[in-house]
Structure 1
């Protein structure tokens, strides 16, 4: 009877071990991919191995002696598991505490602005004067401008399902939109002006960019809503982002170090920031280490974390409509609020955005689209979306 019981326990142990090993291996692999502290993976691996050894020591001991290990030996394994497992858990809790502030990233649900599938995009009151038939030019661009060219597509393209990720109307974001234009997988991109690096990329490839201005947008700076500072001068912002001003008390705020967040190189908002800074150099951005699969780690520009001492920047429509957040507050610049009216009258700093194509692109449909965009109907959609149209800003 005892032998049967021992055999049964052995079989159960083998089955559970064979079942759990693949599961634990996958979990360990996922943990390794998701952490920037690779030493923790080894600690977690050691914890799992100690657990297996502990269980099998008890199984083997029971088979031979019909009882489990004595409590002193059990205690050794339990202490080792608690130390190793506690180290992993403690570090994860500390990491969560360090990142307890809300992170505001560039992610928005683009499906909410998809052509022919959303009530959030602008529509004309009458049929468009231009109708484009297949084959359709590929439209691409910045996230902040997707609502505009999505509205363009809905007005002039045939009704269809246009995925923002794989269709004739995509949103690859500014850096990749420029790459797609260079690789000729996109025909027209809707973006802010290119960075010097992006200009050089086209120049080196022997390609010339053709800019069609279609509107203006306010370039805004924002802080935590509990930050008492409500307005900064242009010079104060430049001094903050060049490192000359480092504490909020220097601009009328609390005695707290300023955490000035930036955007990734090549993004539309970062290029706009460089233009805002002019000849004043930007200080090094705040970075964070992120996992890059198979144990790799890369350092990248950190997303804005809504700490009380933080400051960040973006475009007005994106910050206030697409990724609206009631925990941040847009700052006045030189005493002027970032409203559409103030952008229209020129009292608030604005940045132009364009429909850009290659001079070498001879597609007649591209020319027709560009001409329609600057027509009354195209500019009407720009205004209805919430931006300042180029025709209005030229009045």
Structure 2
């Protein structure tokens, strides 16, 4: 009898070790998947779940559940542990479901000669055409529909893929880098940051800026935010960290989550220009997946929290995204409308530019002249921007 008990105990220990090894390998595989997909927030739930399952198996194997009360007590503790471990991933899932301002944008819809056309077109044939040695174009996402319409009017009909053709679209920092490195001839962007000007100088280049239209720099909040307008001073106070509660600017008692954009982007440069000598507060950051599953920290993308504030350019928020979950704020009591940009009433309207440098393309100067002509400026207006000429 004693021998049989010892054998039974040995078998149970053997089973426990076997399943421990199995669970270890399964958990290791799941952990590797979590790392490479960047879902680190699931780690605590994975570890807790594995421990709970294994402990339950051990309790069952060694006949710990001799009474119903004991079993209920153990299951209650395990359930509580699982609930606590699920708090972080559930919060992350909720945050991931909060929309971003640019979540609906698809640049492929704005390609030249792509049916159905989403870009502006001229009613008559363009007075200027280029058939060979096409200037290579690049620029900010918000301006892609505009310079794609220029290409539609001037370039020969063919496929111009957004990331690998003579008519590309990249972020503002990438467009400036491509111009300085000689990969493109012309870029369509907001004005350069100090860093981009210095980058050009270090490469022996001078950036030549040609204003081709006007646009409003806008601030937006959640549609249900009680605040409808801010003064320039209040914006500066928010982004310097002096004001951190909506109650201080006429809203409800809630902290302000002031998002920023990556360094060198057109809208971030616009904010820096607006702040002047006032130092910016530290931007909210988030961990994102890098190459091979590595995690790096980057400026957090705008999420439409009820206490959030962000900024962009008017056309991008109104025309390209059409996000009905946000509202644009009036600044100093003035709404960011086309009319208020045109008559210089809106206080933070500015030019956007066609930027060139040391290019030897023979058509660049003629192309710039055409863009500033009535036909080019007609496309600026039809796209939704304010032209330089009436």
Task: Tell me the TM-score normalised to structure 1 length.
Answer: 0.81
Q: What is the Cα deviation at residue 98 of structure 1? A: 4.9
User: Over residues 81-110 of structure 1, what are the superposed CA-to-partner deviations in whole Å (9 max), with x where a residue is unaligned?
Assistant: 989987765542232245553333476100
- Decide whether aligned partners of structure 1 residues 27 and 156 sit closer, same or farther in structure 2, where only a CA change above 3 A counts: farther
What is the correspondence of 1:301-312 to structure 2 with a 5 Å cutoff?
A: 301-312=299-310
User: Over residues 56-95 of structure 1, what are the superposed CA-to-partner deviations in whole Å (9 max), with x where a residue is unaligned?
Assistant: x9xxxxxxxxxx978769x9xx999989987765542232
Alignment-derived partner of residue 177 in structure 2: 179
- Cα distance in 2, alignment partners of residues 308 and 95 from structure 1: 16
Q: Given the alignment of the two structures, is residue 114 of structure 1 paired with residue 108 of structure 2, yes or no?
A: no
Alignment-derived partner of residue 13 in structure 1: none
- Decide whether aligned partners of structure 1 residues 257 and 79 sit closer, same or farther in structure 2, where only a CA change above 3 A counts: closer
- Decide whether aligned partners of structure 1 residues 215 and 98 sit closer, same or farther in structure 2, where only a CA change above 3 A counts: closer
Alignment-derived partner of residue 35 in structure 1: 38
Are the counterparts in 2 of residues 44 and 85 from structure 1 also a CA contact under 8 Å? no
Q: Given the alignment of the two structures, is residue 166 of structure 1 paired with residue 164 of structure 2, yes or no?
A: yes
Alignment-derived partner of residue 144 in structure 2: 146
3-state DSSP of counterpart to 1:304? coil
- Decide whether aligned partners of structure 1 residues 193 and 287 sit closer, same or farther in structure 2, where only a CA change above 3 A counts: same
Are the counterparts in 2 of residues 195 and 266 from structure 1 also a CA contact under 8 Å? yes
What is the correspondence of 1:13-32 to structure 2 with a 5 Å cutoff?
A: 28-32=31-35
3-state DSSP of counterpart to 1:383? helix
Q: What is the Cα deviation at residue 141 of structure 1? A: 0.2
- Decide whether aligned partners of structure 1 residues 353 and 106 sit closer, same or farther in structure 2, where only a CA change above 3 A counts: farther
Are the counterparts in 2 of residues 193 and 268 from structure 1 also a CA contact under 8 Å? yes
3-state DSSP of counterpart to 1:391? coil
3-state DSSP of counterpart to 2:215? strand
Q: What is the Cα deviation at residue 134 of structure 1? A: 2.4
Are the counterparts in 1 of residues 245 and 256 from structure 2 also a CA contact under 8 Å? yes
Name the stretch that deviates more: 41-50 or 289-298: 41-50
User: Over residues 111-150 of structure 1, what are the superposed CA-to-partner deviations in whole Å (9 max), with x where a residue is unaligned?
Assistant: 1111011422100011011111123221100000001000
Alignment-derived partner of residue 233 in structure 1: 231
User: Over residues 214-270 of structure 1, what are the superposed CA-to-partner deviations in whole Å (9 max), with x where a residue is unaligned?
Assistant: 001011111111111111111111111111111111111111111111111111111
Q: Given the alignment of the two structures, is residue 355 of structure 1 paired with residue 354 of structure 2, yes or no?
A: yes
2:241 pairs with 231, 240, 243, which one?
243
Name the stretch that deviates more: 237-246 or 287-296: 287-296
- Cα distance in 2, alignment partners of residues 377 and 143 from structure 1: 22
Structure 2: which 5+ runs fail to align? 1-23, 66-70
What is the correspondence of 1:85-100 to structure 2 with a 5 Å cutoff?
A: 89-99=86-96
- Decide whether aligned partners of structure 1 residues 385 and 50 sit closer, same or farther in structure 2, where only a CA change above 3 A counts: same
3-state DSSP of counterpart to 2:363? helix
- Cα distance in 2, alignment partners of residues 279 and 215 from structure 1: 27
Structure 1: which 5+ runs fail to align? 1-20, 58-67
Q: What is the Cα deviation at residue 325 of structure 1? A: 0.9
Name the stretch that deviates more: 186-195 or 360-369: 360-369
- Cα distance in 2, alignment partners of residues 42 and 248 from structure 1: 34
1:101 pairs with 98, 102, 119, which one?
98
Q: CA RMSD in A?
A: 3.2
Aligned residues: 360
- Cα distance in 1, alignment partners of residues 234 and 44 from structure 2: 47
- Cα distance in 2, alignment partners of residues 250 and 47 from structure 1: 45
3-state DSSP of counterpart to 1:352? strand
